[in-house]
Structure 1
């Protein structure tokens, strides 16, 4: 009875109000769940402006459109982003493997520090004097493993 009265008084604008409320809820909620329901309500509201329908048909149409758009939308969102991005994005040290740098200070007891750009890295390797050109061979956590390029 209440649904029938609301639809009778507001007509297609009820669907627009519901659609906009659902889209607003999408902004507050994580994910893209409410987006599909909001878009479905807007589509039903638009159709109801141009085509005279019983309120029961509008509700069934909303349900069908919501389910279809939810399934299609989930599939689209799942496929988006595959194969994109930089695989080494959060592994900055791995990007440094193979690079050569000159030690600014000596390495003693197999450990030292290496300045690369604006960062200071812990390094592990042999005992090398300052000025030795070293190549980064691997990364162990936040420590770079180095070996000399030229004889120490």
Structure 2
């Protein structure tokens, strides 16, 4: 088991792919890095393995590893206890607030906590209590509360 150009290259590829996973999350590079590490071990054990065979092994192992992760690994992820954490507008759906600015031409404004939000809905006067029924981007859809 000697270190050759091929073994050094596969070790470097494996390290770069696994390290890149920390900067580009998504779990694909991790599994490709593991595939490169397996090819590195095979090249160490079988030094006569040709470059084409090494590349074919790497591609095949990468595809199998990523597909295996997608099939079995993702199922085990826990659901979030706060699914709306990074969806500020959607967090307000269902709340009842007063219009800060009348809805005119389909657009108005409400104040929620310390922030102003654009709203869309039917023509309503300022001060009318409205229920937020949906969020389209950063615009909240509202309807009058009966």
Instruction: Identify whether the pair has TM-score above 0.5, normalized to the shorter chain.
Output: yes
Please indicate the TM-score interval, normalised by the length of the shorter structure.
Answer: 0.5 to 0.7
Q: Please state if 1:127 is matched with 2:117.
A: no
2:101–2:110: 8 Å Cα contact kept in structure 1?
A: no
Identify the residue that residue 65 of structure 2 maps to in structure 1: 73
Q: CA deviation at 1:147?
A: 2.4
Structure 2 counterpart of 1:107, from 99, 102, 106: 102
Identify the residue that residue 144 of structure 1 maps to in structure 2: 140
- SS of residue paired to 2:64: helix
Identify the residue that residue 22 of structure 1 maps to in structure 2: 13
- SS of residue paired to 2:102: coil
CA separation of 1:100 and 1:64: change in aligned 2, threshold 3 A: same
Q: CA deviation at 1:114?
A: 0.9
Q: TM-score, normalised by structure 1?
A: 0.56
1:99–1:135: 8 Å Cα contact kept in structure 2?
A: yes
Kindly provide the CA deviation profile for residues 10-55 of structure 1, in whole angstroms up to 9, marking residues without a partner as x.
x432254222221244356975385255212332255x3xxxx5x3
Identify the residue that residue 13 of structure 1 maps to in structure 2: 3
* RMSD of Structure 2 on Structure 1 (CA): 4.0
- State which structure, 1 or 2, has the greater radius of gyration over its C-alpha atoms: 1
2:32–2:66: 8 Å Cα contact kept in structure 1?
A: no
Identify the residue that residue 112 of structure 2 maps to in structure 1: 116
- SS of residue paired to 2:123: coil
Aligned 1:23-102 pairs, distance under 5 A: 23-26=14-17, 27=19, 32=29, 35-44=33-42, 48=45, 55-56=47-48, 58-59=49-50, 62=54, 65-79=57-71, 80-81=73-74, 92-102=88-98
Q: How many residues in Structure 1 have an aligned counterpart in Structure 2?
A: 131
Q: TM-score, normalised by structure 2?
A: 0.58
Structure ranking higher in strand proportion: 2
